[in-house]
Amino acid sequence: MSNYGPTVYHDEGITFDAYRTTGADRQTHTIRNVSLRFIIKNRSTSPVFLFTVDPHSGNEVAAGRLLPNLENQSWDPQGALKPSTIWRIKDAAGAVLKTYGTTAANHQEVEINAITLATMANYTHVQFISWEVYTGPNRGPRPWAMNPPADGRGYTGMGKENAPDNRLDVEGQFEDIRERLQFTYKAIKEAYKLAVRHPTTLKVFMAPEFLYRGKGGAYIHDLINGWTKQPPSEFDLSGFDGFPGLFGYLKRFAAENRFSNWLFVFGTAISASFPARSETNKGWVVDSTKMGEIYNTALIQRGGELTTDEAYASRKRYIASIDFIKSQYRAKNFTLGDVVPADRLDLEPDENNREGSATFTINGINDKAGQPIMFGLEVCLDHSISTPRMRWANRAGFGNLHRAISGASA
């Protein structure tokens, strides 16, 4: 960082994006839509070994050794690397330090440093700790009663009294998130008491589907990851600057040193986004007259002080009849008839691009041989009716640890 304060950087030539340095130890910024160069830097005191992965056979191809304090630059003016290229970086013992795919970026850097090496962990055993709590819609005295008049009661949650539209009650959703966060922290403290202490046992904490959804049936999507400065102008909020978001707070819970051999599956968060429209004298506002796009996302975080960046978000593909109420009860809520689920074909596993899919690895979590553990996670209905492509992925070696979570229990 410059001695004169934050510095503004621009990409060479055409400016694709501009950003400022921060006080963080590590900063990542990706400029998309062009492919020219990527760099691997070794800032550790040990050599690392580079491999590419054949996208058809899955076999590794040695790409060279990188000594301490050196870097490897690959220029790609012809686009030969493409975003589908998969790279693995290993230490001298063959343990995988990082696995990543090149992106459609003009400049991409991957740095191996002391933190990367310090957070490697090989596990011989797994302990699953589930948190069972009802998180479905409030349908009346019987939790799963489906027939009128029980159906359509609404959702349990915090919010403004007599709010006309719970979907847009952003301040009420803040309140709901705060309460659920306290509830969650108490749960993981209790879970810690049940955990074995051996460092080669990976503790996997699993919370249920719909743990975070709010009184309207879903949070406005921006509340999941928050914002660093002012909230979006469409929300017309004051006093909520620098909000880290639901996931940001969950990351802080997991960052305690006692959770260094844990993986948290914080259930799922239901979020929604609306289009925006321009109004005279108001500027841009949320257009709730349009269908809301719904996301049902499992929030996954590796525990420990130095592993905040080791996280993943896996999304549910299929919407179920019990996921939302069928009719309104007083205030406006999300119902089955006014939500648009995500396109499931965009989320199914593919070796070249598994972003958001049910199969994933977490950097630094390896098996006893030092190889990355491949996790498989399916949410509720996905587990019952996943497509042949999804079932093939889970059975063909993609998923070493495969679990399902639902709204009734973990």
| Residue ending a domain, choose from 101, 118, 135 | 118
**106 and 138: one domain?**
no
Residues 178, 238 within the same domain:
yes
**Within a domain: 171:** yes
Global pTM value: 0.70
Segment 77-95 mean pLDDT: 66
In angstroms, the CA 355 to CA 313 distance is 8
pLDDT of the residue at 32: 34
Q: Let me know whether 179 and 103 are in one domain.
A: no
Q: Does 330 lie in the same domain as 261?
A: yes
Higher pLDDT, 50 or 209: 209
CA-to-CA dists, residue 1 to 242, 304, 309, angstroms: 22, 27, 21
| Residues 155 and 67 reside in one and the same domain | no
- The domain boundary residue, chosen from 67, 95, 118: 118
Same domain? 250 vs 359:
yes
Mean pLDDT, rounded, for 119-129: 89
Q: What is residue 195's predicted lDDT score, i.e. its pLDDT?
A: 96
**Ranked by mean pLDDT, which of 152-166, 192-206, 382-396 comes out on top?**
192-206
Burial class (CB in 10 A: 0-12, 13-18, 19+), 130: middle
Residue 145: pLDDT above 70?
A: no
Q: Answer yes or no: is 3 within a domain.
A: no
Looking at residue 168, its pLDDT comes to: 87
Specify the range with the lowest mean pLDDT, choosing from 10-14, 215-219, 316-320, 378-382.
Answer: 10-14
- The answer to whether position 410 is within a domain reads no
DSSP sequence for 91-118: -TTS-EEEEEE--SBSEEEEEE-HHHHH
Residues 95 and 212 in one domain: no
pLDDT digits (tens, 9 = 90+) for 212-265: 998 989 999 899 999 888 888 777 777 888 899 999 999 999 999 999 999 999
Q: Which two tokens stand for residue 306?
A: 């130095």
The domain boundary residue, chosen from 118, 144, 173: 118
Same domain, 103 and 163: no
Per the CB < 8 A criterion, the answer to whether 254 and 181 are in contact is no
pLDDT of amino acid 155: 83
Categorize the per-residue pLDDT at 390 as very low, low, confident or very high, splitting at 50, 70 and 90. low
Q: What is the CATH number of the domain that holds 57?
A: 2.60.40.780
Please tell me whether residues 98 and 229 are part of one structural domain: no
Q: Is residue 1 part of a domain?
A: no
Residue 37 domain-assigned (yes or no): yes
CA distance 332 to 221: 17
Is residue 66 located within the same domain as residue 186? no
Residue 2 lies in a domain: no
| Mean pLDDT within 3-17 | 36
Looking at the structure, tell me whether residues 92 and 132 fall in a common domain. no
In a domain, 305, yes or no: yes
Residue 311 has pLDDT above 80, yes or no: yes
On whether residue 19 sits in a domain, the answer given is yes
Instruction: Give the lowest-confidence range in 236-240, 310-314, 346-350, 381-385.
Output: 346-350
Band of pLDDT at residue 361, cut at 50, 70 and 90: confident
Lowest mean pLDDT among 21-25, 108-112, 177-181, 304-308: 21-25
Please state the domain count of the chain: 2
Which domain covers residue 187, as residue numbers? 125-405
Q: Which two tokens mark 52? A: 């590419």
Same domain, 246 and 378: yes
